[in-house]
Chain A
């Protein structure tokens, strides 16, 4: 067996595609100057409208198609120099319609490539058991035929068939397109899980943006054979390269994604603050003119050091003390880089009207108001339909809900409060 995927060559890229172009006989340019460097362990999604060249690009990787020009290298080695049959045995391939062999048992289907690689029969059977466990199907299924399995089950077998020979690169062409949403989601979880556990590299074609955004480490957006944008899901949501990408993502999704990509810093508004060395009189004057009941306190460098409420100010008024002497330094804040999704829970639960936002040096850069957060989160949950009544900013004028209401420990970063949906269990 030739070790075509051996480490080395120094370039460090598992897969590199340079200036790939594919012109079909008849003159149709299906792929136009495609460039991509893929590192080991990446999960690349190709997404684009139908006919944008996703399948064509993918099929050049395992030489199901020959490119018209350009080079594809695996670990630095030009695949054009390799034996195509041996190359394909080293690359897992899940085709759109599963393509299980109807006349072979599930066991024989799973171990099809190991058999081509002449693994001994015990090792093959061992692998079949391992693999079917991986997708949470009973071992009895190994003796069944594909027609005796449901669509979702067949699709699972299709996925593990592409993994059974320890392929390092797995190509998947719209593998879940024909499945119902629940099965699809559970298979997406499975694939993501496999990828994270195994460190295998996936190239995954889809036309489902949700699928791409949830699975990919990087997304390649294609249109008419060209790459429109290649970036992480977050960056694509944050900065769609052009209107085509934005449309492809869709307005709803951009709104939905806001809590998980918008940082606190982006929605922060101006804070009303005082310096430690100011007099109480000055501070009270500031409160009056700005009509607020609490002032955040910073030192001379602008770092957040505490806060002071109007009652406390009143209490010490005339004592000759400075703000720094009477302020409460037990202040709750968030960092500007935390995303809203990760902070909103704690902020809302504590009932704060607003929370100071600091930068990496501890400097106060503003506040986020409860109203802003609620706005974003509600939009994400229910769309922008009823968006009329809740767009105020700045510190609110009511009294109670101040940072001292719950004098918790100051926390620097929010703990991640991701939710993972776990749809299917067989």
Chain B
């Protein structure tokens, strides 16, 4: 244990940073694309089935295969990994955004419209705030997936904590395997905790005490 830190301490920090960087960007892009897309789909219900179906299909492609498919397009390194992980992050966020928006009491949507809110005002002031907890649940799920699969991205040369794991597997060194996988688990737990706090912040108050 101490040995491991002595030998790989600085690498560990660097790989962890890479890991955070890759998964953070993938997830960030996923959020930026999937939430607005989910909102738009609630206004175009006729294509919502198709779009969500498509995202589900993408989700079923094995992670390794998807990563490998990126190589001909983007080469190797962080870039193809980010694209592949971004695609993975889409579905949970998209689906939860859509469901969260759809589950807002139709009476409230009706009231918002009836009182003279524009479509945009209704989304921003009523529907998104009320859907926030459901959307955040999707984001947390995506975050956990992305952090885990970022470990696989090492396979196509993206770096990250996966490097330890793959090296360990190649060299039959369990300390490397554990040294890579334990930080991944910790990272996933910490991020989930932080996103949980964010979810609380975004969940609108409905009583004075909060």
Contacts and interface: CB of A to CB of B under 8 A. Distances in A.
A147 B205 CA distance: 10
Most B Cβ at <10 Å: residue of A93, A98, A101, A112: A101
Interface string B113-142: 111111001000010011000000000000
A103 to B, nearest CB: 3
Interface residues of A, number: 28
Contacts of A64: 110, 113-114
Nearest to A117: B116
B208 A116 contact: no
Contacts of B204: 102-103
Nearest to B118: A85
Most B Cβ at <10 Å: residue of A96, A116, A143: A116
A116 B107 contact: no
B111 A88 contact: no
Contact of B115 (A88, A98, A146): A88
Contacts of B130: 102-103
A173 to B, nearest CB: 9
Interface string A17-47: 0000000000000000000000000000000
B114 A89 contact: no
Contacts of A95: 107, 110-111, 114
Contacts, number: 66
Contacts of B207: 144-145, 147-148
A253 interface: no
B94 to A, nearest CB: 23
Contacts of A85: 116-118
B189 interface: no
A97 B107 contact: yes
A101 B126 contact: yes
Contact of A143 (B113, B116, B129, B208): B208
Contacts of B116: 85-90, 113, 116
Given A89-B116, A101-B126, A145 B205 contact: yes
Interface string B94-119: 00000000000101101111111110
Nearest to A161: B115
Contacts of A402: none
A145 B207 CA distance: 5
Interface of A: 62, 64, 85-90, 93, 95-103, 112-113, 116, 143-148, 161
Given A85-B118, A97-B107, A147-B206, 7 more contacts: A64-B113, A64-B114, A96-B107, A101-B126, A103-B206, A116-B116, A145-B205
Interface of B: 105, 107-108, 110-118, 121, 126, 129-130, 204-208
9 contacts: A64-B114, A93-B111, A95-B107, A98-B107, A102-B108, A113-B116, A116-B117, A145-B205, A148-B207
